[in-house]
Amino acid sequence: MTATPDPAAIEAAVHAYVRALNAGDLDAVVALYADDASVEDPVGAAPQVGRDAIRAFYRRSLSVPLVVALEGPVRVAGSECAFAFSVSLTWEGKAMTIRPIDTFRFDGSGRIAQMRAFFGPGSVSAG
């Protein structure tokens, strides 16, 4: 039986994720993930599986400065959590904000085993 991470540790990992994204710290983001983790961003896209694929995904994501902020509490249930947040950036000269809801599932060692990002066109606004 694998251990379920402490809810406080899960919430701390989400805050570390937000800090790393704001800092553009690729290594800190990737360090939060298990070696065999998957990232599905957005949901429906082909999952990025394993640290190399996840590193490449976040390298692209962090190629522009991001301003990331939680928009409400982190909801923790067992070894999973969900959180709403905003990501503001400038892409091709246009300022935009994306408001996804991400879910993380953690493994027994407290690393992210799966990330899924829920958003679509209605979650993206100018400015």
Which CATH number covers residue 40? Answer: 3.10.450.50
Q: Is residue 62 part of a domain?
A: yes
DSSP states of 40-53: ESSBTBPPEESHHH
| pLDDT for residue 51 | 95
pLDDT digits (tens, 9 = 90+) for 108-123: 999 999 999 999 999 9
| Whether the Cβ atoms of residue 39 and residue 59 lie closer than 8 Å to each other | no
Catalytic residue among 33, 41, 58, 107: 41
The conformation of residue 122, written as its DSSP 8-state character, comes to: G
pLDDT at 36 over 60: yes
Distance between CA 40 and CA 29 in Å, rounded? 15
What percentage of the chain exceeds 90 in pLDDT?
A: 94
Going by C-alpha positions, the residue among 71, 121, 60 that lies closest to residue 96 is 121
- For residue 1, being part of any structural domain is answered with no
126, pLDDT greater than 80: yes
Known active-site residue 41: yes
Tell me the C-alpha distance between 56 and 41, whole Å. 13
| Total residues belonging to the chain | 127
What is the phi-psi region of residue 24: left when phi exceeds 0, alpha when psi lies from -120 to 50, beta otherwise? left
**Predicted confidence band of residue 89 (pLDDT cuts 50, 70, 90):** very high
Note the pLDDT of residue 3: 75
Residue 1: pLDDT above 70?
no
The catalytically annotated residue of 17, 33, 58, 102 is 17
Mean residue pLDDT of the chain comes to 95
| Mean pLDDT for the stretch of residues 39-68 | 97
The answer to the question of residue 35 being in a domain is yes
> Total domain count for the chain?
1
* Residue range(s) defining the domain that contains residue 85: 7-126
What DSSP element (H or E) covers 3?
A: none
Evaluate whether residue 40 is within a structural domain. Answer: yes
Backbone angle region of 118, left / alpha / beta, with phi > 0 → left and psi within -120 to 50 → alpha:
beta
Annotated active-site residue 58? The verdict is no
Percent of the chain surpassing pLDDT 70: 98
